[in-house]
Chain A
Amino acid sequence: MQNSTKVIAAIVENKPGVLHSIANMFRRRGYNIESITVGHTEKKGLARMTITLNGDNKTIEQVVKQMNKLIDVVKVSYLEKENIVTRELALVKIKVIDAKTRSDAINCVEVFRGRVVDVSPETLTVEITGTSDKIDAFVNLMRTYGIMELARTGLTALSRGVKSIRIID
């Protein structure tokens, strides 16, 4: 199996040191994290982590096993691309020198279903969500105007349908 970007989701204890031990394991074993997002879950005390990394199936299997071994990781799954919904959010601040570029840019934002969240005489800040590919495309397009600042959250994901990673007490 070829190298490709893979998605792993983990439910972890929400306490200090957890991110350190996970990041440390990745570093130590030479796995490269492409992106990582963390946030609260529906259960108190537990956080959900979505990690994307590049590797073949064998590597991903090892990563899942090594993560499982960490005491603070409650559950971990490899999410197959075909069966998940993925989203990423980006905030993009672009330079707009005149009214024409401003309205051009806003047109593009609408096509991508983005939202303008802040304006100033020389800038326009846009919020956009979607798959990482969509955000890549949007960001590329905005380069023609000039990107002053870009903040991407990294990818987050959930399985489609009834399948889920849940912790049953």
Chain B
Amino acid sequence: MTEMSGAKAIIKALEKQKVDVIFGILGGAVLSIYDHFRNSEIRHILCRHEQGAAHAAEGYARASGKPGVCMATSGPGATNLVTGIANAYMDSVPIIAITGQVPTTSKNTTYMIGRDSFQEADIVGITTPITKYNYQLKSAAEIPGTVKKAFHIATTGRPGPVLIDVPKNLQTEVAEMNFSNKIRIKGYKPKTNPHPLQIDRAVKLLITAEKPIILSGGGVIISNASHELLKTAETLIAPVATSFMGKGSVPENHPLSVGSIGMHGNPAANKLLCEADVVLAVGTRFSDRSTGTIDTFCSKAQKIHIDIDAAEIGKNIEVNVPIVADAKKALREINHRLIIQLKNRKESSWANRVKETKQQLNKPPNKSESNLKPKAILHELRKILPNDAIVATEVGQNQMWSALYFNILKPRTFISSGGLGTMGFGFPASIGAKVACPNRPVVDIAGDGSFRMTEQELATSVTEDIPVIVIVLNNSVLGMVAQWQRFFFKGRYAAVKLGSSPDFVKLAEAYGAQGLRATSLKEFKKAVKQALKSDVTTVIDIPISEEENVVPMVLPGCGIGEQVGDY
């Protein structure tokens, strides 16, 4: 037990969790905490908007597998974090948000919280539906235990954001702090071991399957189960389709990988999923964007569903074999049993069908130097970037083109806002990823509209010396929305034209970053190579046609087998 102030205890508790970096913006209600960064090894990265801080914390977490931490002052600081917290919640990413709050008591009143004090916002109430859990501290002595619990909850089971709201007076309150107490949370005991009976049933089903397919979700990446998943696929000689969030859970250049499924999924993945007789779905929540119409989704198949979150099983899709467990543990068990029973399995006609479907449906890009097409751009980018480069995306066409045409080869190298679809996520997330992996290139594949939403973080990346590469697929339009207006509103455009403002090259330069423009594939390749060599953030502006569509597409109200347009 040692006596110290609440502010000091927060920093100390974070150090005990091995936090090495915090993204944040200070303000009146967190001044005391910030005062203690002086004496700490923890690096504080001053962002230019709290949304950027939350996304950066998420990018850090997704790239590293460790929890990311962000901090903001009370009121507007806290509410600015909300989009970032919601994003982390939807994509099950462990981030810890620490917010200042108005004091519980002060000299002239007995209670400040609840009196609409200056910069008071009920951030606990606001974030209840978008956090895995949240706390408002009532006394300084609670700090060590609460921080420990927050990290435990955020990182175990199905991960997610946890917020700790710290009233200002508790930061200066001195109390006896106990950092070695064991924590106990009565209502929280995530189940990680699979039920042996369900494993039996799954194995039986898989062995008799003639056309098995694996659907790999984000949970496989979270649980670091890529190796086990690929081994299982190889034992079964089953193709692996991924959800959007599962992209990168298997190397997309592997012969059994067929790409991601869904509205803008790879047609081979969508088609093979429809033909399969047994689906082994792992760590995926069958979101509407993945499944298309539910009643036609894998209607011929028996389904095995592994998920650590029991509530995901049966939520959107009825399954035959439910397995509530950690993906890695369950897959290890399953593969172990399959290997014994499927020794010397020969390639079946299904394996040929997989090859043939891929060949038929995945055409390489047409290379036209003058007419810059996203597919060709992304193919070139893949060739230039090393396999372990981290790629983030913004939201819209840029994101779906990346999903379709940019092969991800390693887990945790694809960082994109899947569940919430947050424009402006990718750039600050790449800053966070770069902090986590400073020796690897980090690239944000951006749309012009999205980039404008958090572009102020260029200042963060330049002043904090965190060089990333932003590739703006600049169609001068809110492209995805324009596409929907073309497809579903007879081409009546409303409020989608962005025009040519700003000039992204000059914008980058104004921030002290490098700005490059590429108007041909050749220039593009040159620009990327130059950016990779540069030790400052580079924005590469690539003008593309504003009429470009993302196809193939599953139209709303259709099954994923009914895509329109060619890959």
A20-B125 CB under 8 A given contacts A62-B314, A65-B310, A71-B133: yes
**Could you say which interface size class chain B belongs to?**
10 to 19
A21 interfacial by beta-carbon distance below 8 Å: yes
The 8 A CB mask of A70-92 against B (1 = contact, 0 = none) is: 11111100000000000000000
The 8 A CB mask of A6-36 against B (1 = contact, 0 = none) is: 0000001100010011001100100000000
Instruction: Closest B residue to A45 by CB, please name it.
Output: B186
A17, A58, A62, A72: the one contacting B187 at CB < 8 Å is A72
B contact residues around A12 at 8 Å (CB): 187
A24, A71, A167: the one contacting B132 at CB < 8 Å is A71
A58-B314 CB under 8 A given contacts A13-B186, A71-B188: yes
A167-B186 CB under 8 A given contacts A61-B314, A62-B315: yes
A20, A61, A167: the one contacting B128 at CB < 8 Å is A20
B contact residues around A62 at 8 Å (CB): 311, 314-315
B556 interfacial by beta-carbon distance below 8 Å: no
CA distance A150 to B315 in the complex (A): 39
Identify which of A17, A20, A24, A75 gathers the most chain B CB atoms within 10 Å of its CB: A17
CA distance A77 to B423 in the complex (A): 41
CA distance A12 to B187 in the complex (A): 8
B187 near A70 (CB under 8 angstroms)? Answer: yes
Shortest Cβ gap from A152 to chain B (Å): 28
B340 interfacial by beta-carbon distance below 8 Å: no
A contact residues around B315 at 8 Å (CB): 62, 65
CA distance A21 to B128 in the complex (A): 6
A69 near B311 (CB under 8 angstroms)? Answer: yes
CA distance A73 to B310 in the complex (A): 15
A24-B129 CB under 8 A given contacts A70-B187, A71-B185, A73-B187: yes
A66 interfacial by beta-carbon distance below 8 Å: yes
A13-B314 CB under 8 A given contacts A21-B128, A69-B309, A71-B132: no
A68 interfacial by beta-carbon distance below 8 Å: yes
B238 interfacial by beta-carbon distance below 8 Å: no
A contact residues around B310 at 8 Å (CB): 65, 68-69
Instruction: Closest A residue to B124 by CB, please name it.
Output: A17
A contact residues around B442 at 8 Å (CB): none
The 8 A CB mask of B179-222 against A (1 = contact, 0 = none) is: 00000011110000000000000000000000000000000000
A24 near B311 (CB under 8 angstroms)? Answer: no
B153 interfacial by beta-carbon distance below 8 Å: yes
Instruction: Closest A residue to B125 by CB, please name it.
Output: A20
Shortest Cβ gap from B386 to chain A (Å): 40
Instruction: Closest A residue to B185 by CB, please name it.
Output: A71
Shortest Cβ gap from B191 to chain A (Å): 11
A13 near B311 (CB under 8 angstroms)? Answer: no
In chain A between 101 and 132, which residues have their CB closer than 8 angstroms to a CB of chain B?
Answer: none
B124, B136, B187, B309: the one contacting A74 at CB < 8 Å is B187
In chain B between 290 and 324, which residues have their CB closer than 8 angstroms to a CB of chain A?
Answer: 309-311, 314-315
In chain B between 124 and 144, which residues have their CB closer than 8 angstroms to a CB of chain A?
Answer: 124-125, 128-129, 132-133, 136
CA distance A77 to B562 in the complex (A): 41
Instruction: Closest B residue to A43 by CB, please name it.
Output: B186
CA distance A66 to B309 in the complex (A): 10
B contact residues around A17 at 8 Å (CB): 124, 128, 136
CA distance A69 to B129 in the complex (A): 12
A contact residues around B153 at 8 Å (CB): 71
A contact residues around B124 at 8 Å (CB): 17
CA distance A71 to B129 in the complex (A): 13
A contact residues around B186 at 8 Å (CB): 13, 46, 74, 167
Instruction: Closest B residue to A12 by CB, please name it.
Output: B187
Shortest Cβ gap from A62 to chain B (Å): 6
CA distance A20 to B129 in the complex (A): 10
Shortest Cβ gap from A74 to chain B (Å): 4
Identify which of B132, B133, B153, B187 gathers the most chain A CB atoms within 10 Å of its CB: B187
B contact residues around A69 at 8 Å (CB): 309-311
Shortest Cβ gap from B165 to chain A (Å): 11
CA distance A58 to B309 in the complex (A): 17
Instruction: Closest A residue to B311 by CB, please name it.
Output: A65
A contact residues around B136 at 8 Å (CB): 17
Identify which of B186, B188, B315 gathers the most chain A CB atoms within 10 Å of its CB: B186
B contact residues around A74 at 8 Å (CB): 186-187
A contact residues around B309 at 8 Å (CB): 69
Shortest Cβ gap from A19 to chain B (Å): 11
Shortest Cβ gap from B298 to chain A (Å): 19
B314 near A24 (CB under 8 angstroms)? Answer: no
A contact residues around B188 at 8 Å (CB): 71
A68 near B311 (CB under 8 angstroms)? Answer: yes
Instruction: Closest A residue to B186 by CB, please name it.
Output: A74
B contact residues around A20 at 8 Å (CB): 125, 128
CA distance A72 to B128 in the complex (A): 12
A66-B187 CB under 8 A given contacts A24-B129, A71-B133: no
Shortest Cβ gap from B556 to chain A (Å): 21
A contact residues around B314 at 8 Å (CB): 58, 61-62
CA distance A12 to B133 in the complex (A): 15
Instruction: Closest A residue to B136 by CB, please name it.
Output: A17
Shortest Cβ gap from B423 to chain A (Å): 23
A contact residues around B187 at 8 Å (CB): 12-13, 70-75
CA distance A12 to B185 in the complex (A): 12
Instruction: Closest B residue to A167 by CB, please name it.
Output: B186
CA distance A122 to B185 in the complex (A): 54
Instruction: Closest B residue to A21 by CB, please name it.
Output: B128
Instruction: Closest B residue to A67 by CB, please name it.
Output: B311
Shortest Cβ gap from B12 to chain A (Å): 24
A contact residues around B132 at 8 Å (CB): 71
Shortest Cβ gap from A156 to chain B (Å): 21
CA distance A68 to B190 in the complex (A): 10
B contact residues around A21 at 8 Å (CB): 128
* Top 7 A-B pairs, shortest CB-CB distance: A65-B311, A74-B187, A71-B133, A74-B186, A71-B188, A69-B311, A73-B187
A-B contacts, 27 listed (Cβ < 8 Å): A12-B187, A13-B186, A13-B187, A17-B124, A17-B128, A20-B125, A20-B128, A21-B128, A24-B128, A28-B129, A46-B186, A62-B315, A65-B310, A65-B311, A65-B315, A66-B311, A68-B310, A68-B311, A69-B309, A69-B310, A69-B311, A70-B187, A71-B133, A71-B185, A71-B188, A73-B187, A167-B186
Query: Could you tell me which B residues sit within 8 Å of A by CB distance?
Result: 124-125, 128-129, 132-133, 136, 153, 185-188, 309-311, 314-315
New contact pairs (5) apart from A13-B186, A62-B311, CB-CB < 8 Å: A20-B128, A21-B128, A58-B314, A71-B153, A71-B185
